[in-house]
Amino acid sequence: MKRTYIKDLSKEVGQEVTISGWVDVRRDQGKMVFMDMRDMTGKVQGVVLPNHPEAIEQVKEVRNEWVLSVTGLINKRPERNVKAGVLNGDIEMEITGIEVLNKSETIPFDISGDTKEINEEVRLKYRYVDLRSDRMQKNIRNRHKVIKFIRDYLDNENFIEVETPILTKSTPEGSRDYVVPARLYPGKFYALPQSPQQYKQLLMTAGVEKYFQIARCMRDEDTRGDRQPEFTQLDMEMSFVKQEDVMELNEKLLIELVTKLYPEKKIQQIPFPRLTYAEAMEKYGNDKPDLREDKNDPDLLAFCWVIDFPFFEKTDTGAWTFTHNPFSRPKPEHVEWLMKKENIGEILTTQYDVALNGMEIGGGSIRNHDPEALRKVFEIMGHESDAIDRNFGHMMTAFSLGTPPHGGIAWGLDRFVMTLQNEPNIREVIPFAKTGEGKDPMMDSPAEISVDQLLELGITLRKK
């Protein structure tokens, strides 16, 4: 018989139907056995009555989390047993036939409640079981909805999604790169992208004008509580725009997304308040202030923009480095300082960050599309001329071949979804997350590779 989804069962009263899914709970009451079934659309209470001896015999063997196809009659519940406001609270399935599709050992932990209390390493080792819980199902399904909303919204605004390479080149631009040995070129390496920054700018040279991507970014940083070796950005870039245009589009998108998908949430202030970096530091002591008037309200969203960041800051060794992005353009009134390499500490950039409830959830800038100005940035940071050409020559070449003024932004999607879902950390909204120490207990990665693989790559490991 054709499969009926559990959410549609109330339309089938009086009919015999077949559902497929997992045994959510089974309660053996001797003469009759209750067995609730679950599929991706919901749950339903089932019961095997004594007048179906064959089914009774089958259901006695069945255990929680077995995968079954179940046939039965959909009955209205007597008035006194109706559970109002619950999916299928008014019906019950009188089970007449059971087909076992897959058995299950006792699962390693209980998923009927909030699995947050379970040891996280165990949850991640059996992530596919953990993801079956109501809360985790909601997290992945709502994550999908957020991403779909973004895609539809931007498509409607004439953006296109373009995939950029995962195997790219290591350049000294921010964090440490993950590198991948190139077998065909012994001694050479690809790097995994820390972000699609350079590619998205080159797409502006390519005439795309409005680009976005739900992009995976990889950064080999020391593990810190809520960091993951890989994370997801909504990455965006636009041509012929000013700072105001990018901020306006993103603010609208954020507001519409929250209003449509999370109507229970309240945005504290619209338009989003704007603070300069100097104001934020002076008033709140950090550049991602938590402006919530009531920090106990899980449904309050206090967005704000922080602008006018310094372009450069001093490193521990006293050299200059960029605060956000070497490809940013200084504020128009400070471009001259950059060109003359003067007042370096006072040069402000067009960087804009968007903060939410005390977290940075996005940041971007208008870019420096003048090759000479970009060269100055690297000179200020002490890069030698030939190193600049080697590492960033392709950017400077592109900027001398017809590149429109452009700017963009990237959101940390995991953090944003985490806040929307009222979760305490990003691992709760990343389907296959790694531990806080960067390990994947399910796949057992990172892992050693075989001697043959090493030989093929021309790699010898140093003895420890």
Asked if 325 is part of the footprint of ligand ASP (rule: CB under 6 A), the reply reads yes
Structure tokens, 276: 């300069």
Specify the residue, 66 or 199, whose C-beta has the smaller distance to ligand ASP: 199
Asked if 377 is part of the footprint of ligand ASP (rule: CB under 6 A), the reply reads no
Q: Are strands 210-218 and 160-161 parallel, antiparallel or unpaired?
A: parallel
Least separation in angstroms between residue 203's CB and ligand ASP is: 12
Q: Is 359 exposed, middle or buried (0-12, 13-18, 19+ CB in 10 A)?
A: middle
Site for ligand ASP in 294-323 (CB under 6 A): none
CA distances from 302 to 226, 289, 388 (A): 21, 9, 41
Per-residue binding letters, 388-427, with ligand ASP (x by CB under 6 A): --------------------xxx-----------------
Specify the residue, 409 or 430, whose C-beta has the smaller distance to ligand ASP: 409
Asked if 365 is part of the footprint of ligand ASP (rule: CB under 6 A), the reply reads yes
Spell out a b/e string for 263-288, using b for 16 or more CB atoms within 10 Å of the CB, else e. eebebbeeebeebebeebeeebeebb
Least separation in angstroms between residue 87's CB and ligand ASP is: 41
Residue nearest to ligand ASP (CB): 195
Q: Which of 4, 115, 197, 205 binds ligand ASP (CB under 6 A)?
A: 197
Specify the residue, 126 or 178, whose C-beta has the smaller distance to ligand ASP: 178
Specify the residue, 21 or 408, whose C-beta has the smaller distance to ligand ASP: 408
Asked if 330 is part of the footprint of ligand ASP (rule: CB under 6 A), the reply reads no
Specify the residue, 48 or 409, whose C-beta has the smaller distance to ligand ASP: 409
What are the contacts of 317-323 at 24+ separation with CB within 8 A?
319/381, 319/382, 320/344, 320/380, 320/381, 320/382, 321/381, 322/377, 322/381, 323/349, 323/351
Asked if 201 is part of the footprint of ligand ASP (rule: CB under 6 A), the reply reads no
CA dist., res. 301 & res. 262, Å (int): 11
For CA atoms 249, 251, 253, 256, the dihedral sign is negative
Specify the residue, 195 or 403, whose C-beta has the smaller distance to ligand ASP: 195
Structure tokens, 364: 């971007």
- Judged by DSSP in three states, 434 sits in coil
Asked if 371 is part of the footprint of ligand ASP (rule: CB under 6 A), the reply reads no
CA dist., res. 4 & res. 46, Å (int): 14
Q: Name, in order, each residue with C-beta under 8 angstroms of 167's C-beta and a sequence gap of 6 or more.
A: 180, 190, 191, 192
Least separation in angstroms between residue 353's CB and ligand ASP is: 9
CA distances from 344 to 196, 276, 341, 376, 388 (A): 27, 18, 6, 11, 19
Least separation in angstroms between residue 9's CB and ligand ASP is: 46
Asked if 350 is part of the footprint of ligand ASP (rule: CB under 6 A), the reply reads no
CA dist., res. 359 & res. 375, Å (int): 32
Number of residues forming the site for ligand ASP (CB under 6 A)? 9
Structure tokens, 144: 């999908």
Asked if 88 is part of the footprint of ligand ASP (rule: CB under 6 A), the reply reads no
Specify the residue, 107 or 162, whose C-beta has the smaller distance to ligand ASP: 162
H or E element at residue 42:
strand 42-44
Q: Which of 289, 330, 363, 371 binds ligand ASP (CB under 6 A)?
A: 363
Specify the residue, 123 or 329, whose C-beta has the smaller distance to ligand ASP: 329
Asked if 192 is part of the footprint of ligand ASP (rule: CB under 6 A), the reply reads no
Binding positions for ligand ASP, rule: CB under 6 A: 195, 197, 325, 363-365, 408-410
